[in-house]
């Protein structure tokens, strides 16, 4: 920042923001020695001491907040429902137009390449992902069931009314343990979906029916409200008068709380914005929980 002429005195505020976000996390903050990076407050303190050791004339003057706000204006805020979202353990994907119902009480996750769930006892997993190489259910199933150490034979099936290949399997792991599972490869929307559930062989009897029932819940998404779900976006407002965060939230209502608005603008609750200041807000429908 010094070499490029940027105002180094702006940098500590980054770690104030990280602290605010960390404090707001549902999981809470972890001890510094457990984190992959030093605590934000520790880094802020180090940075402030480093800045104090530089001559004031060497700290730079460039801030360019206007340019930053232009980049931020219009960004997707939070999770993008177009990439899939959960309502409880029901998963909806508006872009790919499918839904699947994971078991109640299981811990769910939605990642770029996979959506899935883990049993409460952490002894069974169900995953759904796109099959990137195979172009037919038969080819996908043949590739999967021919893996070394895996025993099982897929059969023609229908999942959600769509052509599929599916079957149970057993696989021996390198450590000598054995897994039991069920795999289905479904042709839908011009793509092949791989749906897989497995558990230790000794526990497969407890989870097998649940896995199959979950895979069979895969179906076309037809609910118009789910199909048209759109992400929230950040927009930037230039204030015509001074107001507090809470007054701003009332004047420009949106899907997030005043507490979240304060974090978004890296200020404390109750802080006051000046007239003419450019302030970030969020627009869009409140997303399903």
Total domain count for the chain? Answer: 3
**Residues 133 and 203 reside in one and the same domain:** yes
Q: Are residues 207 and 100 in the same domain?
A: yes
Same domain, 272 and 186: no
CATH number for the domain including 170?
A: 3.40.1000.10
Q: Please state, rounded to an integer, the average pLDDT across all residues of the chain.
A: 92
pLDDT in tens, 218-277: 999 999 999 999 999 999 999 999 999 999 999 999 999 999 999 999 999 999 999 999
User: Residues 85-112: pLDDT tens digits?
Assistant: 999 999 999 999 999 999 999 999 999 8
Question: Could you tell me the pTM of the whole model?
Answer: 0.79
Chain Cα centroid distance, residue 182: 26
Domain co-membership, 86 together with 222: yes
In this structure, the answer to whether residues 215 and 246 fall within a common structural domain is no
Statement to judge: residues 157 and 57 lie in one domain? no
The residue among 204, 226, 248 that closes a domain is 226
Where in the sequence is the domain holding 42, given as residue range(s)? 8-62
Q: Is residue 30 scored above 60 in pLDDT?
A: no
Same-domain pairing of 217 and 126: yes
Same domain, 134 and 88: yes
Question: Does residue 173 form part of some domain?
Answer: yes
Candidates 288, 289, 281, 287; CA nearest to 75 is 281
The answer as to whether 3 is a domain residue is no
């Amino acid at each position: 920042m010094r070499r490029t002429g940027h105002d180094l005195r702006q940098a500590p505020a980054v770690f104030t923001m990280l602290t605010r976000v960390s404090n707001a996390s549902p999981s809470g903050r972890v001890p510094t020695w457990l984190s992959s990076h030093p605590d934000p407050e520790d880094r802020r303190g180090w940075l402030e001491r480093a800045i104090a050791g530089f001559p004031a004339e060497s700290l730079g003057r460039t801030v360019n907040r206007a340019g930053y706000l232009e980049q931020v204006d219009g960004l997707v805020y939070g999770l993008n429902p177009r990439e899939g979202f959960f309502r409880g353990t029901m998963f909806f994907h508006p872009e790919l137009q499918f839904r699947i119902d994971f078991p109640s009480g299981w811990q769910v996750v939605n990642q770029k390449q996979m959506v899935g769930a883990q049993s409460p006892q952490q002894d069974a997993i169900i995953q759904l992902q796109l099959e990137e190489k195979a172009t037919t259910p038969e080819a996908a199933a043949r590739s999967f069931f021919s893996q070394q150490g895996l025993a099982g034979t897929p059969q023609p099936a229908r999942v959600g009314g769509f052509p599929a290949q599916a079957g149970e399997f057993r696989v021996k792991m390198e450590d000598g343990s054995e897994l039991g599972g069920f795999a289905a490869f479904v042709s839908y929307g011009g793509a092949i979906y791989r749906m897989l559930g497995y558990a230790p062989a000794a526990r497969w009897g407890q989870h097998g029916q649940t896995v199959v029932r979950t895979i069979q819940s895969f179906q076309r998404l037809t609910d118009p409200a789910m199909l048209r779900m759109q992400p929230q976006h950040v927009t930037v407002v230039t204030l015509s008068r001074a107001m507090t965060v809470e007054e701003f939230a009332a004047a420009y209502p949106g899907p997030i709380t005043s507490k979240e608005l304060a974090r978004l603008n890296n200020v404390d609750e109750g802080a006051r914005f000046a007239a003419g200041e450019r302030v970030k807000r969020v627009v869009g429908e409140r997303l399903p929980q």
